[in-house]
Amino acid sequence: MLKHHPDKRAAAGNHEDDGFFKCIQKATEVLSDPDKRRQYDSVDENADVEPPSKKEASKSPATFFKLWNKVFDSEARFSKTKPVPRFGDDKSSREQVEEFYNFWYNFDSWRTFEYLDEDVPDDNENRDQKRHVERKNNNQRKKKKTEDTQRLRKVVDDVLAQDERIKKFRKEQNAQKNKKRLDREAEETRVKEEAVKAKEEQERLQKEKEEADKQERAEGKKAKEAAKNAAKKNKRVVRTAAKDGKYFVDGEATAAQIDAALNETDLLIAKLEVDELAVFASKLNGKSDAKEIKAVFAEQGKSLQDAGKVQSGELKLIQA
């Protein structure tokens, strides 16, 4: 810069216009000031990359990602947040793709639009005009900022609509949802089927129990009937034995003796348990001798008396 200073040039005998030096001085001033440097970088139109048309981007997957990566790499230079996620390729994970779109839908740009400002008058006497121009410039900057945000949002919308990865992820998500739904429905069906089987099993067991109880009652009834018939038969055996034993008297029994002998026989039968009656009847079976029959009756009468089931004198004829 010193090389082109007017004094240096004059000392060297060069008296050309100092305009070139002023350009250098202006450039240095812009590059050394962060705000002015940002303003300068904001209008680097040669670095802007136009989004590809849908036809261009759809030639092949490789072309699609190559063209769109260039677009977002170009836009990334305006990001306040670093690092900036890249657009990626068809091998990018769902998390990477979601991170990319979340970042760009919330893009925070440092780009400014002061280069479009109308020149502010330097005349201090016309302060109202100066304020008017400054307000106009501020409004214009805000407008351009909003338009640029909308432009970038449309770019992101366009690529999102064309991005086959999104369709793939949605398809996978739907498949996963359908799998969960099918698994849930299968589980519900399994639970219902098990409930039906459990109910059927319970009904089967209940039916078997009812059948077993019915059979048991029938067998019990049959056993009771058999025991009752056996008891009747044993009673007949005992009563017949009393008759064959000549009613426990020697010689021809009178009507009174027969009646007394039968009463004592019925009393003896009444005092015996069913199994005792069966044993007693078995002892009498096949006997026809009156003395033997009376001896069996006398023995049974004594057993009842010893057990306290009959009183002395209640079986006079049997124990005579």
- CATH superfamily for 227-319 is Ribosome-associated complex head domain (1.10.8.840)
Mean pLDDT computed over 106-129: 78
**Token representation of residue 107:** 């893009």
d(Cα 316, Cα 320) in Å, to the nearest integer? 6
Q: How confident is the model at residue 130 (pLDDT cuts 50, 70, 90)?
A: confident
d(Cα 281, Cα 290) in Å, to the nearest integer? 15
pTM, entire model: 0.50
Lowest mean pLDDT segment, chosen from 10-24, 39-53, 229-243: 10-24
d(Cα 166, Cα 162) in Å, to the nearest integer? 9
Burial of 92 (0-12, 13-18, 19+ CB in 10 A): middle
Q: What pLDDT, on the 0 to 100 scale, is given for residue 127? A: 79
Q: Which residues of the chain form CATH 1.10.8.840?
A: 227-319
Q: How many helices (H) and strands (E) does the chain have?
A: 12, 0
Look at residue 171 and tell me whether its pLDDT is greater than 80: yes
Count CB-CB contacts under 10 A for residue 130.
Answer: 15
